[in-house]
């Protein structure tokens, strides 16, 4: 990679970092009031998309271990933002649901981010949203969580 291209990619990396900070800043301030962190937001996000999601399916989507997920899920249950119920088809399977408060919190967090992206895409003009989507998809497609996401969306 030549020096000009290397510098350009360094600029892209810096922009990606600053953009991510901007994208997560407001939701982070909101969840801080609840005494939870970004990992809890991700859990709420996926359970909101797929109510009744099993613990194993959530592990797959988040690409984490059971040990890594146990503490954050326990905290969400303690804060009455989600519940875990035995599945009717198999009592060993735990299905996850958001409580009313959990749904409201997730909606507030995700709405802020959806509105932020929507405003940027509107300002950027036609074609930019698809280009951004294509880039994010290329970055994501090697992830097992992305594959699990697509399977869940198809089966919804």
Q: At what angle do helices 144-155 and 55-62 cross, to 10 degrees?
A: 130
Q: Report pLDDT for 4.
A: 92
pLDDT at 133: 94
Give the pLDDT confidence score for residue 126 in this predicted structure.
87
Instruction: In whole angstroms, give the CA distance from residue 29 to residue 143.
Output: 28
Residues of the chain with pLDDT under 50: none
Phi/psi of residue 54, nearest 5 degrees: -80, 160
CA of 102: how far to CAs of 17, 69, 78, in Å? 28, 17, 12
pTM confidence score:
0.92
Torsion of Cα atoms, 26 then 32 then 36 then 40, to 10°? 0
């Amino acid at each position: 990679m030549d020096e000009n291209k290397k510098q350009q990619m360094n600029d892209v990396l810096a922009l990606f970092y600053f953009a991510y900070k901007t994208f997560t800043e407001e939701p982070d301030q909101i969840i801080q009031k609840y005494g939870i962190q970004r990992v809890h937001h991700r859990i709420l996000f996926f359970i909101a998309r797929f109510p009744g999601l099993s613990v194993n399916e959530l592990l797959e989507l988040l690409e984490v271990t059971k040990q890594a997920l146990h503490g954050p899920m326990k905290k969400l249950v303690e804060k009455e933002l989600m519940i875990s119920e035995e599945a009717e088809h198999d009592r060993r399977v735990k299905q996850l649901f958001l409580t009313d408060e959990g749904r409201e919190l997730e909606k507030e967090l995700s709405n802020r981010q959806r509105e932020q992206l929507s405003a940027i895409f509107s300002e950027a003009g036609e074609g930019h949203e698809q280009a951004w989507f294509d880039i994010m998809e290329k970055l994501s497609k090697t992830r097992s969580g992305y594959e699990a996401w697509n399977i869940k969306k198809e089966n919804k």
